Amino acid sequence: MMSSEAVAAPLKQKAGLEDVRELFAQRSEEIWPALRAATQAASDFSEVLALANLRKKALKAGISGGIDKTIRLAMIGGSNLYPLHELVQQKIGARSATGWWETEIWKGDYDNYIAEIFDPESELYIFKPEVIFLIPSNQRCVYQGALTDGPELQKVAATKMAEELLNLCRIAHERSGAEVIVANFLPAAEFDPGSFRVRTLGSNWNFRKLVNMELGLNAPSYVHVCDAEFLATRRGAATCHDPRAWFETKQLYSSDFAVDIAQEVAAIAASLHRPSKKVLALDLDNTLWGGVIGDDGMAGIEIGGTHARGEAFRQFQLAIASLAQRGVVLAVCSKNDYKNAAEPFEKHPEMVLRLKDIASFQANWEPKSENLRRIAQELNLGLDSIVFVDDNPAEIEIVKQFVPEIETIWLGPDPSEYASQLLDCRFFEPRSITTDDLKRGEQYQQQAARAQAMNASETDMDSYLASLEMHSVISEFTEVDVPRISQLINKSNQFNVTTRRRTEAEVEALLTDSDHYAFSVRLADKFGDNGLISVVIVKVEGATAVVDTWLMSCRVLKRQMEDEVVNEIVRLAGKRSCTTVLGNYLPTEKNGMVRDLFPRMGFELVEESTERTTYQLSIENFTPHKTHIQMDRRAYDTN
């Protein structure tokens, strides 16, 4: 079975196990990108272990260019965790974009996970994991009553089993602060009790599905389900469990299925450190439709249900539309005359996608790498937010060379596979979905309209800002906003002065923390609602208010929202009887745009080092900044 990453990035397949061996023999630094690519593509148990051994040898030999992050992972469960931990370690490492993520692993004893979680002095907590991977006992997930019991009784048993497992996750999280990845239960693959299995919730087949559903629906934000049920269904449930391996060495998963599990754990662990992609940039000819619009014309392109290829292209567009509905922003990047490129979107009756669905439309004869840069600029997003899709491998190669920050999907020659390639690529998997996410496409279309209005305007910046008719609401943190606030805290990289990450539970704790004040900001204008666009957390230390977190969506840069945020920080500091506000800038690879934010806002330099620059502002001497934003509400207002 080919991994989804291998489908999404075919050019990476040039690096395989033998390539890695050769690069190791040469002691070449190129071993790291080759090792990443080979590990991501590998689905064979022996191959992944061989790559793991090469990784260890490369580290021991001191080949530079390796470790760029270390993750502490604890594995506990009702089965033998060796050598699954080797697979998990290897797959997580390959999730690094530029080097290698080293995973320090602590393994619990066989089937001792309940005691390890309940004992506050256990080695599990001494290890101080960032992430805990829990594999509960599959043998315990059995309905203990009769198959003929009523469904309500069987549902109660399933709910109780899921609650007990989630309670273990809660205790582990509260005592360690770690995010918890829990594997759900494998589906039963035996024929017994025949067709009666679907007539009772007490059969292993139905009972495990019911427990898994209860587990997923009730999991809190710090619990992430490794969906073993789905993975087994995708591979074939009968091949995922090896009875001999279970009886001889207590291995729950068959060898190759263990690779699937490790791949999934790595994907979840990576999502805790890296946000999903935001923009899908689309080629047009032989990608969204069959044929070349400039040569074949409207009547000649293949799209729609009148023939097999046309139906496949339409199915691909439906898959794209499904991503857009949950917040993925769509863009067009095509070598075409604009008029020809836009015509099918405007007039072809079989097109699923229309011009209103596209936030940025770049159709011209410039290199696609340049047009992708324009898309990023127009949407005010980083290049690493974009995934580019094309049927032409040469165009994919050019983009990879000139804008390596952008991920690519080469679709290949067969349009019948396009939809599944896109839906298997895993670039757009969210950790959670909020109401604001569902509006994201619309918001970025509005952003593009603002950029075009600015470019077309002959007036000055001040007049342009006044013409936007901006309104803002600043609110203290509320329970309903916690998921969105946590999402922004964990994915914002550019406009983020400290890049401190927090879980939803940690954000929720701030609602009642008297040592901090914290607020979020919403902004709307005549083009539409931008949603929740900024988050600020301030710690009060005596007479000093210390800005712990300040991040903002790049969509609203240079709209004077920074000025209103400072006004609010100072106003609330004054209410806490503070006399000074301190702001820290902690530099990262991506937050250079806020290097001079505090001095631009009137703060004075206190001290500077390579790790931190500190500024201060005297509240007594502060004059609120004037802006063109009408404030409809401020934080902690009772009116």
Residue 83, preceding peptide bond in cis (omega within 30° of 0): yes
Positive or negative, the Cα torsion across 356, 358, 364, 370? Answer: positive
Q: Do the bridges between strand 516-525 and strand 528-541 make them parallel or antiparallel, or are there none, so unpaired?
A: antiparallel
Distance between first and last Cα of the chain: 60
Of 516, 539, 520, whose CA–CA distance to 479 is shortest?
Answer: 520
Do residues 48 and 42 make contact, with C-beta atoms less than 8 angstroms apart? yes
Can you tell me the distance from the alpha carbon of 583 to that of 545, in angstroms, rounded to the nearest whole number? 9
- DSSP one-letter string for 107-147: EEEET-HHHHHH-TTSHHHHT--SEEEEE--GGG----S-T
Residue 433 pLDDT: 67
- 203, with CB counted inside 10 A (0-12, 13-18, 19+), is buried
Q: Helix H segments across 434-593?
A: 435-438, 440-456, 461-467, 482-491, 504-509, 561-575
Supply the angle between the helices 255-271 and 84-93 in degrees, to the nearest 10. 40
Q: Which amino acid is at 483?
A: P
In the chain, which stretches have pLDDT less than 70? 1-14, 432-441, 447-448, 451-460, 638-639
Query: Cα separations (Å) of 556 from 41, 183, 465, 526, 560?
Result: 39, 40, 11, 14, 8
Q: Do the bridges between strand 407-410 and strand 613-618 make them parallel or antiparallel, or are there none, so unpaired?
A: unpaired
Residue 13: alpha-carbon gap to chain centroid = 24
Can you tell me the distance from the alpha carbon of 344 to that of 211, in angstroms, rounded to the nearest whole number? 47
- 607, with CB counted inside 10 A (0-12, 13-18, 19+), is exposed
Residue 614 pLDDT: 97
492-545: pLDDT as tens digits: 888 999 999 888 888 999 999 999 999 999 998 887 788 888 999 999 999 999
Can you tell me the distance from the alpha carbon of 205 to that of 441, in angstroms, rounded to the nearest whole number? 40
Query: Cα separations (Å) of 84 from 29, 188, 226, 230?
Result: 27, 21, 14, 19
